[in-house]
Structure 1
Amino acid sequence: MLVAAALAAVCFGAAGIAPADAFASLAARLGVGTTPLSAIEDAIVVKLRMPRVLAACAVGAGLAIVGVVMQALVRNPLADPYLLGVSSGASVGAVLVLIAGLGVLLPVAAFAGALLALLATLGLAGAAGGATPTRTVLAGVVVASAASALVSLVIFWGADGDAYREILAWLLGSLASISWQSALIALVGAALALPLLVSGRLLDALSLGDSAAGALGVDARRTRWVLLVACALVTGVLVSVSGAIGFIGLVVPHAVRLVVGSSHALLLPASGLAGAIVLLVADTVARAAFDPRELPVGIVTALIGAPVFAALMLTGRVRT
């Protein structure tokens, strides 16, 4: 399914390109044969669509994996990658550089904002008596609210014209401006998520509660801190490229559980694949379905994710 979705994303759009021609164009870039496409069509495949496909796969897979881990760590079915205020912190950094006209620094600023938000959340939870699941969630809510208020203040005070449109597109989540450099950053974020795939046994133990995990030889407090920091770092890298794309890390894990069950050894890789497919399809729809306009992909994922999550709730499929 992922290969089919990627092939459709490369070929489908205002400039329709045959799959064989797209393959030939990519092979020509690797020194095999020549491209049958015109210079413009070749640029569309290689410089516009391919990096966007790779970024969508990386971001979707990373967010879904982090969503699984977060739901297990805090034992909350509403947990998602943005629970610790990471996306709101990233938004502060992104908005500041866009207001200043320094869009080239957006990934760096967004990641820095995400990292500061993580430190603030964990620091607040620790100061309140320790980073238990409940305190961590509450601290994340506080940090996210404060960062969102700061974003609103900065936009109200200094955004106008092109800066306002750039900010809005980023806040809604978009892959429209993805370049090969951005795609590589997204792939780094996905690579950072790979070690989480081997945390299945630890997550199974933590799902039973800290006491049961301790009886199984798992240091619950230390494991939770390490995994929380890892999740926040992965999310910060991904959000710095795509903006805050919602529902992937929330809905995909619940949907995949219906297929593979609750064992995290299967749930983590399956959710990664499903997240890549869902975001890739959503981005293709956002890019091509409303031509000549393009929707931010975050709108499409919300339009899909909200009714799907509601259906899961109504049928009792959301694990509580």
Structure 2
Amino acid sequence: MRLLRSGLLPLFALLCAASLLTGARQVAWVDILSLSDDAWLTLTASRLPRLAALVLTGVGLAVCGVVLQQILRNKFVEPATTGGLDAAKLGILVALTAAPGAGTGVRMLFALAFCLAASLLFVAIIRRVRARSTVLVPVIGLMYGGVLSAIAEFYAYRHNILQSMQGWLLGDFSRIVQGNYEILWLVLPIVALTYAYAHRFTVLGMGEGLATSLGLNYRATVLLGLLLVAVTVSATVITAGAIPFVGLVIPNLVALRHGDHLGRTLPAVALGGASLLLFCDILGRLVAYPYEVPIGLTAGGVGGLLFLGLIVWRRR
């Protein structure tokens, strides 16, 4: 009911319908309802898989952002500002050279291992530095991600796969068709598990001392949260590439309206992430029609503007 009152659910449904009808090939509802073979082939082989991938990626990245913000107690962190995306790309590059004939599952395991290790190291660095400034944590994360990105580029250059790496620098859903996105369905159990542990993640955001005094196993909960983030990030990067700002903007916008209790806000965060990604994808398909702008560019532009507006509004 809260989502209906906020207008988020109708907006999401409208964006889903627009996504199905938008593309280089014109598909009308009349053709779909009349069971046209061409329309149904386009819908089932391309449009519906792309819609599912967009929704799952948006939900996953938004939930990743809110979990990381609770773990690090900072509103300006997400996988792109903690080195997670860069570590996942490095893991995929290592998989391409260490196991060139491996499938998507093996590459995802490499990305998962690198992303989890990088996240654990980043948390250890922040605890060691004991950064109290709100801005210092994401700055450290950006520098950390820059180092990981440089290592990935050097590794790709040495193994002559730099061109393969360029495909992951910007998120792109134009290659999504039936049969090469199904690994993203892992996002659903991840979101369900995050919702089941929503109260614990909320307590986690109160700090180690208070969380421990309330009976929470702090280290185990942090490890669980980072594992959930690593699985989601590795699945999205290996399928669609690196997409920024979704996990940063949406949790902040939802928190301004509904607060920080994840048990109440997580559905809005998930739906908001999916809606933002759908809007950016539709924009990318229309701005240079019939050509397509990668969603990494549109998400970066729209997310950056939203974040700047959020900062200005908070200062006022």
Fold shared per TM-score above 0.5? yes
Change (3 A) 1:124 1:173: closer
* Corresponding residue of 2:111: 113
2:7 aligned residue: none
Alpha-carbon distance in structure 1 between the residues aligned to 2:117 and 2:260: 30
Cα contact 1:107–1:240 (8 A) shared by 2? no
- State the Cα distance separating 1:95 from its structure 2 match: 4.3
Cα distance in 2 between the residues matched to 1:313 and 1:140:
19
Aligned match of 1:19: 29
Is the CA contact (8 Å cut-off) linking 1:66 and 1:249 kept in structure 2? yes
Q: Give the stretch that moved more between structures: 51-60 or 278-287.
A: 278-287
Kept in 2, the 8 Å contact 1:122–1:131? The answer is no
Q: Is the 8 A contact 2:116 2:226 kept in 1?
A: no
Q: CA deviation at 1:158?
A: 5.8
Q: Is the 8 A contact 2:82 2:122 kept in 1?
A: no
Give the aligned length: 302
Aligned counterparts, 1:191-202, within 5 A: 191-202=189-200
Q: Which amino acid aligns with 1:37?
A: S
> C-alpha displacement at 1:81, in angstroms?
2.6
**Cα displacement string for residues 52-108 of structure 1 (whole angstroms, at most 9, x for unaligned residues):** 0000000000110111111111011111034543311221244467799x6984664
- Residue 47 of structure 1 corresponds to which residue in structure 2? 45
Query: Residues 108 and 263 of structure 1: is their aligned pair in 2 closer, same or farther, counting only changes over 3 Å?
Result: same
The equivalent residue for 1:69 is 67
Give the distance between the partners of 1:141 and 1:258, measured in 2 at CA: 25
Do the aligned partners of residues 19 and 266 (structure 1) sit closer, same or farther apart at CA in structure 2, a change above 3 Å counting?
A: farther
Q: Does 1:291 align with 2:292?
A: no
| Residues 1-27 of structure 1, C-alpha deviations (whole Å, 9 max, x = no match) | 2222111111122322223533x4xxx
Distance 2:43 2:271 in 1: 23
* CA spacing shift, 1:131–1:21, aligned 2, 3 Å: farther
Offset, 1:247: 0.5
Q: Distance in 1 between matches of 2:313 and 2:140?
A: 31
User: What secondary structure does 2:181 align onto?
Assistant: helix
Partner of 2:179: helix, strand, or coil?
Answer: helix
Which letter does structure 2 place at the counterpart of 1:4?
L
The one-letter amino acid of 1:46's match is T
User: Is residue 242 of structure 2 the alignment partner of residue 244 of structure 1?
Assistant: yes
The one-letter amino acid paired with 1:232 is: A
Q: Aligned partners of 1:309, 1:15: CA distance in 2, in Å?
A: 34
Q: Which residue of 2 aligns with 1:36?
A: 35
Deviation at 1:169, TM superposition (A): 3.5
The corresponding residue for 1:150 is: 151
Matched, 1:7 2:17: yes
Q: CA deviation at 1:181?
A: 2.7
Report how far residue 111 of structure 1 moved.
4.4
The TM-score normalised by the length of structure 2 is 0.82
Q: Deviations over 1:243-289 (max 9, x none)?
A: 11000001011111233222211221110011111111211221233
Any idea what the Cα deviations from partners look like across 1:159-202, whole Å, max 9, x if unmatched?
Answer: 58xx73x5434211111111223331112233323210122211
**2:180 is paired with a residue of what secondary structure?**
helix
Alignment correspondent of 1:31: none
How far apart, in 2, do the equivalents of 1:113 and 1:12 lie?
Answer: 32
**Preserved contact between residue 96 and residue 107 of structure 2 (Cα < 8 Å):** no
Quote the Cα distance in structure 2 between the aligned partners of 1:283 and 1:191: 24
- CA-atom RMSD, angstroms? 3.3
Aligned with residue 81 of structure 1, among 79, 82, 89: 79
**Structure 2 letter corresponding to 1:262:** D
The alpha-carbon deviation at position 210 of structure 1 amounts to 1.8
Q: 2: CA distance between counterparts of 1:59 and 1:117?
A: 17
The range that moved more, 300-309 or 7-16, is 7-16
Q: Contact 1:98/1:167 (CA < 8 Å) preserved in 2?
A: no
- Give the direction of change, closer, same or farther, for the CA distance of 1:13–1:262 in structure 2 (3 Å limit): same
CA distance in structure 2 between the partners assigned to 1:84 and 1:130 by the alignment = 14
TM-score between both structures, scaled by the size of structure 1: 0.81
Instruction: Classify 1:252/1:9 alpha carbon distance in 2 versus 1 (closer, same or farther; 3 Å).
Output: same
User: Equivalent residue of 1:315, what SS?
Assistant: helix
Q: Can you give the 5+ residue segments of structure 1 that lack an aligned partner in the other structure?
A: 25-34
Q: Using a 3 Å threshold, how does the CA distance of structure 1 residues 308 and 141 change in structure 2: closer, same or farther?
A: closer
**Cα distance in 2 between the residues matched to 1:122 and 1:217:** 23
Give the distance between the partners of 1:210 and 1:89, measured in 2 at CA.
26
Unaligned runs of 5+ in 2: 1-10, 132-136
